[in-house]
Structure 1
Amino acid sequence: MTSSESPIQSRKIAEAARLLIDARRARQPIQAPPSELAPADDAEAWAIHEAVVASFGPVVAWKTGAPSPEAEPGMGLITADTLKASPAAVPADAFVLGAVEAEIAVTLARDLGPRPEPYSADEVLDAVATWHAAIEVLDTAFADWAATPALWKIADRQSHGLLVLGAGVTERPKIPLARLPVRLTINGETAFAHEGGNSGGDPARLLTHLANARRATDRPLLKGDVVTTGSTTPFRRATPGQSVRASFEGLPDAELTIAAA
């Protein structure tokens, strides 16, 4: 319990987190979560998110993204159990939702720790060690993900299921990140192919916002952390027996195979 939480709120957060943890581990989706456990606001949803993630291990990566270039970006914590190097393979029953997106990710060369003044975009980009193509797989603890309220999605690991990281390169892509050509293929068929496409605008904006949102916390961005910067494609559900590839110009591909049922 934090100093700002009442005992009742602390119990609610713990019970809501346990509900989500059990559903994820058993792959038994929640049909209708108890109304008394629903997050009341962003702060409560984030507290549940942190409690859920803590049960799966220490944080090694982050996700960020926004619905528009003007919207404030969100964030999510990622643990080692859902971070895999490409090419990755998972069992047929690995996901409830299994929606895949192509993303640009980075690995950090140094800490972006506490300091009074905000980090500039140039400082954050200079802290990048390697650039990667990535596949994020969205997953859920709920039976009807589309109808799940936004605060429950935040609490439920920001709908994170898996991050597949392509091999890294040290040189930033020459084409501006907001216009970098991307292709998402499933079983060799092109699902999406276009330039840019990140709903939050320039990935550098999202990365910089995350660095500054975390710089005054007890867990800022650290050397070795992976950050994935939001979807550049609409999501497409992948099913057992399918293979997925995310390709960005200038970056090695990220590949995921889901075993046949």
Structure 2
Amino acid sequence: MNDPTDKIGAAARLLTAARTPGAAIETPPADLAPADAAEAWAMHQAGVAAIGPVVGWKIGAPTPTADIIRGEITASTIFASPATVPATALRLWAVEAEIAVTFGRDLVGGPFDAEAVVAAIATWHAAIEVLDTAFADWQATPPLWKLADRQSHGLLVVGEGTSQMPVGPLDQLPVRMLIGDETAYAHEGGNTGGDPIRLLVALANLLATSDRPIRAGDVVTTGSATPFRQVGAGQRLLVEFDGLAPAELAVAA
């Protein structure tokens, strides 16, 4: 396949078709494998465009000083808490506790510092990101394929917002995840990318001069504060951060 555009489109269609209820990809096709991060990102954007306009982002980083990793999110995968979603909607059902924000004004032009980005935030939220995959073996999937596959985004459950930023360093904010009556996690901090504000500033400046900067109403979730846990039909999940209303999700049978 010599035309890069044809390759990107074919890969995006493959990934979209393989999401539930399609058949999972057992072995990624070598001829469609992303050559680099730029090509994987083009596949990501093509796949997202097929399901709707972008209304938000997921961000994270492997260390507190590393460049951000981002993914686009559409309105069709954002749910207000409390949410009930059928188990048949996703394949992976790996859940993470995150801090999300909703922006109250556009961030265009830049550059922006932390003060400007925080001032543009309208509300702060506890959130649950549910990871999903087009692949039969998600953990063995190469990182570039995960990036192409919507950065493994499945859905996002957003708790009720508050205009007040939580008190204390956000990278040390106490978090608790309950699955049914079991406390799965209860600790301080946990985001591998460090301070969520650093990640938000990086995203704002990355997008500020693009054709799709952050706009008023956009939701951004800032990376997991817990390891992921897999859940299934009949289970209920609650995520709490100090100073934020909880996010709740029920996985219906």
Class of the TM-score when normalised by the shorter of the 2 chains: over 0.9
Match of 1:247 in 2: 240
TM-score in terms of structure 2 length: 0.98
**Aligned twin of 1:11:** 6
Native 8 Å contact 2:20 2:134 kept in 1? no
What is the DSSP-based 3-state SS (H/G/I as helix, E as strand, rest coil) of the residue aligned with 1:19? Answer: helix
- Please state if 1:145 is matched with 2:107: no
Amino acid paired to 1:72: D
1:209 corresponds to: 202
Please state whether the residue corresponding to 1:93 is helix, strand or coil. Answer: helix
| Match in the other structure for 2:211 | 218
- Contact 2:82/2:159, CA 8 A, preserved across alignment: yes
Q: Is the 8 A contact 2:68 2:202 kept in 1?
A: yes
Query: For residue 188 of structure 1, what is the aligned residue in structure 2?
Result: 181
Residue in structure 1 matched with residue 51 of structure 2 by the alignment:
56
CA distance in structure 2 between the aligned counterparts of 1:16 and 1:174, rounded to whole angstroms: 44
Measured on the aligned residues, the alpha-carbon RMSD in Å equals: 1.1
Q: Deviations over 1:54-82 (max 9, x none)?
A: 00000111100011112111100000110
Among 95, 99, 105, which residue is 1:104 paired with? 99
| Residue-pair matches, total | 253
1:252 match: secondary structure = coil
Structure 2: distance between partners of 1:7 and 1:95: 33
CA distance in 1, matches of 2:227, 2:169: 20
**1:154 alignment partner in structure 2:** 147
Q: What secondary structure sits across from 1:39 in the alignment?
A: coil
Q: Which stretches in structure 2 are left out of the alignment for 5+ residues?
A: none
Contact 1:27 1:96 in 2 (8 A): no
Instruction: Find the counterpart in structure 2 of residue 3 from structure 1.
Output: none
CA–CA distance in structure 1, aligned partners of residues 96 and 181 of structure 2: 15
SS, match of residue 135 in structure 2: coil
Counterpart contact for 1:180–1:195, Cα < 8 Å: yes
Q: Which stretches of structure 1, 4 residues or longer, exceed 2 Å deviation after superposition?
A: none
Q: TM-score, normalised by structure 1?
A: 0.95
Structure 1: 5+ residue stretches without partners? 1-5
- Aligned-partner Cα distance in 2 for 1:236–1:57: 28
Aligned equivalent of 1:33, options 5, 28, 37: 28
- Find the aligned partners of 1:7 and 1:37 in 2 and give their Cα distance: 11
